[in-house]
């Protein structure tokens, strides 16, 4: 399954945003701040009708119900504690991050599950291995944020499941950039040794696990440190997750824990000059979905629907430009970060790759293809090769019930373009010739706090 994160836009623009997402996929990720919804302590915290809850003023109702009305299935991520639910008696940190109360978080989970009975996918916190999101991380050399997060997660899980026993509560949401490397964080969370052996009993309740596997390079690039996790390292995280399940500390009813990527993207060089060239961006999206699939990821969220203005911000990873490609178009009222303009131009090739991913590789006398149909459903699929005379059919196969198809056959071809055709749609052509390697100076290219180098 694929999803696109819902942007935070003015109320008048929310229907446009949701309809754009629904045209791409059936799923969206919505990030809600607990502090916005409950700025003051509720007297009846599990009752969503308590007057302390600001469902309308925080725009939570607008965002969640708007997505549901558009026919989208939301994954709702909750983080950022209100000040009354933080413990700042010993440690300081950014607002909403400091030693949040697990009991209060669990009560809020029960209230929000009652408020939105049509939502069945919930993610507990965001990037809890970064002090930007959760503090303290390390005290006197000891990693403490995994222990804090375990209590938050278990309480949140109990609150959601008390209302909706069939809900999916997603744990993790870890950052590739980190205060504590993600695999170290997991081992501490699930009480595992460096060799993944169980060292203590510490129950962790979850229905799925997620990660944010950003990379400065291509889809198969590794993070570069033993416990970091970019796209190329996802198999290591899956191995750790399997060890957690085998230890008995990861408590879930499933035989294996579903593995999700709840945030990922790359910026494009229109308009960010230090980001990924547009043509390569389209290829990389298909390859990212392939790498995630072969690593066991079953749910994949693209981080931005629409670019944010450049150079004021560093986020140009949308499937739509903010206006048009030129940097000058980002200036002034034509492309305001607070607006969502109907004149935005789609990044057509990247959008196609996300909707209908397809890859083709030549190796050792074989051609191998993989893809997923546009509607993520079973259809006959025709594999085509581009010749001077046009596209010609090469193979026919069937996608499975999730829309996934793959095939490998003997071939001496090492240079042609291939594409898939299914249900009246064509994927992008994908060249057997691999492009030159490309690396970003940092995850987001430039803009905002990052100085452009080109």
pLDDT, position 126: 97
- Residue 181 reports pLDDT greater than 90: yes
pLDDT, position 434: 93
∠ CA 64-129-302 to the nearest 5 degrees? 45
Instruction: Please give the average per-residue pLDDT across 412-431, as a whole number.
Output: 95
Alpha-carbon distance of 182 to 167, in angstroms, equals: 25
Residue 264 · residue 435 · CB < 8 Å: no
- Residue 277 reports pLDDT greater than 70: yes
- Roughly how many angstroms between the first and final C-alpha of the chain, as a whole number? 36
Read off the tokens for 166: 């069939």
Alpha-carbon distance of 60 to 55, in angstroms, equals: 5
Highest average pLDDT, of 106-110, 322-326, 444-448, comes from 106-110
pLDDT, position 23: 95
pLDDT in tens, 184-239: 999 999 999 999 999 999 999 999 999 999 999 999 999 989 999 999 999 999 99
Q: How far is CA 342 from CA 23, 102, 194, 357, in A?
A: 14, 42, 51, 26
Read off the tokens for 355: 């909707």
Alpha-carbon distance of 109 to 193, in angstroms, equals: 31
pLDDT bracket for residue 395 (50, 70, 90): very high
Q: How far is CA 271 from CA 54, 276, 336, in A?
A: 38, 10, 15
Q: What is the assigned CATH class of domain 357-431? A: mainly beta
Strand partners, 168: 121
pLDDT averaged over every residue in the chain: 94
pLDDT bracket for residue 53 (50, 70, 90): very high
The answer to whether the 2-264 and 357-431 domains have the same CATH topology is no
> What value does the CA radius of gyration of the chain take, rounded to a whole number of Å?
22
pLDDT in tens, 9-29: 888 889 999 999 999 999 999
pLDDT bracket for residue 79 (50, 70, 90): very high
Unique residue bearing structure tokens 């004149």: 343
pLDDT bracket for residue 441 (50, 70, 90): confident
pLDDT, position 338: 60
pLDDT bracket for residue 311 (50, 70, 90): confident
Residue 22 · residue 72 · CB < 8 Å: yes
pLDDT, position 414: 94
Report the candidate in 297, 295, 202, 296 with the shortest Cα–Cα distance to residue 251.
202
- Residue 322 reports pLDDT greater than 90: no
Number of Cα atoms under 13 Å in the Cβ half of residue 366: 6
pLDDT bracket for residue 333 (50, 70, 90): low
Give residues with Cβ within 8 angstroms of 248, minimum separation 6: 198, 201
How much of the chain exceeds pLDDT 70, in percent?
A: 97
Report the candidate in 272, 304, 271 with the shortest Cα–Cα distance to residue 285.
304
pLDDT, position 330: 66
Report the candidate in 4, 75, 73, 8 with the shortest Cα–Cα distance to residue 265.
4
Number of Cα atoms under 13 Å in the Cβ half of residue 193: 4
Residue 374 · residue 332 · CB < 8 Å: no
Instruction: Please give the average per-residue pLDDT across 42-53, as a whole number.
Output: 98
Per-domain boundaries in the chain: 2-264, 357-431
How much of the chain exceeds pLDDT 90, in percent?
A: 84
pLDDT, position 10: 85
The H-or-E segment that residue 372 falls in is: strand 366-372
CA 121 to mean position of chain CA atoms? 14
pLDDT bracket for residue 324 (50, 70, 90): confident
pLDDT in tens, 132-168: 999 999 999 999 999 999 999 999 999 999 999 999 9
pLDDT, position 248: 96
Report the candidate in 395, 304, 307 with the shortest Cα–Cα distance to residue 358.
395
Outline where 9-122 has alpha helix (H).
14-24, 34-37, 60-69, 102-115
Instruction: Please give the average per-residue pLDDT across 272-294, as a whole number.
Output: 96
- Residue 429 reports pLDDT greater than 80: yes
pLDDT bracket for residue 342 (50, 70, 90): confident
- Residue 268 reports pLDDT greater than 90: yes
Residue 310 · residue 322 · CB < 8 Å: yes
CATH of domain 2-264: 3.20.20.80
Alpha-carbon distance of 240 to 42, in angstroms, equals: 39
Report the candidate in 428, 146, 391, 398 with the shortest Cα–Cα distance to residue 287.
428
Report the candidate in 59, 9, 32, 13 with the shortest Cα–Cα distance to residue 308.
9
Alpha-carbon distance of 212 to 120, in angstroms, equals: 21
């Amino acid at each position: 399954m694929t999803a696109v994160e819902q942007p935070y836009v003015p109320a008048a623009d929310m229907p446009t945003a949701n309809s754009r997402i629904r045209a791409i996929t059936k799923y969206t990720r919505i990030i809600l701040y607990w502090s916005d919804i409950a700025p003051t302590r509720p007297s009846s915290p599990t009752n969503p009708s308590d007057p302390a809850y600001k469902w309308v003023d925080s725009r939570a109702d607008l965002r969640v119900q708007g997505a549901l009305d558009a026919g989208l299935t939301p994954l709702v991520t909750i983080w950022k504690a209100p000040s009354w639910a933080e413990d700042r008696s010993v440690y300081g940190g950014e607002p909403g991050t400091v030693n949040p109360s697990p009991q209060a978080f669990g009560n809020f989970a029960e209230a929000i599950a009652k408020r939105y009975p049509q939502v069945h996918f919930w993610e507990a916190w965001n990037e809890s291995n970064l002090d930007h999101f959760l503090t303290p991380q390390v005290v006197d050399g000891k990693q403490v944020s995994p222990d804090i997060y375990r209590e938050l997660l278990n309480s949140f899980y109990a609150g959601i499941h008390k209302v909706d026993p069939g809900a999916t509560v997603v744990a993790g949401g870890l950052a590739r950039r980190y205060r504590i490397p993600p695999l170290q964080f997991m081992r501490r969370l699930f009480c595992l040794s460096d060799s993944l052996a169980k060292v203590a009993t510490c129950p962790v309740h979850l229905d799925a696990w997620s990660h944010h596997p950003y990379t400065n390079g291509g889809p198969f690039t590794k993070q570069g440190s033993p416990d970091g996790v970019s796209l190329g390292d996802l198999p290591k995280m899956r191995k750790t997750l399997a060890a957690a399940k085998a230890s008995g500390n990861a408590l879930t009813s499933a035989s294996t824990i579903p593995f999700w990527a709840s945030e990922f993207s790359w910026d494009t060089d229109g308009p960010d000059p230090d980001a990924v060239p547009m043509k390569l961006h389209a290829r990389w999206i298909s390859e990212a979905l392939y790498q995630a699939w072969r690593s066991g990821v079953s749910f994949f969220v693209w981080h931005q629907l629409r670019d944010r203005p450049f150079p004021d911000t560093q986020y140009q990873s949308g499937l739509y430009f903010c206006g048009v490609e030129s940097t000058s178009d980002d200036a002034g009222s034509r492309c305001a970060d607070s607006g969502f303009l109907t004149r935005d131009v789609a990044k057509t090739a990247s959008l196609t790759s996300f909707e209908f991913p397809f890859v083709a590789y030549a190796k050792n006398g074989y051609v191998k293809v993989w893809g997923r149909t546009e509607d993520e459903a079973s259809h006959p699929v025709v594999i085509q090769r581009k010749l001077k005379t046009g596209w010609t059919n090469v193979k026919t196969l069937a996608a499975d019930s999730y829309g996934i198809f793959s095939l490998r056959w003997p071939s001496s071809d090492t240079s042609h373009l291939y594409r898939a055709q299914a249900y009246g749609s064509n994927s992008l052509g994908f060249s057997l010739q691999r492009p030159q390697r490309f690396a970003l100076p940092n995850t987001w290219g430039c803009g905002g706090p990052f100085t452009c180098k080109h």
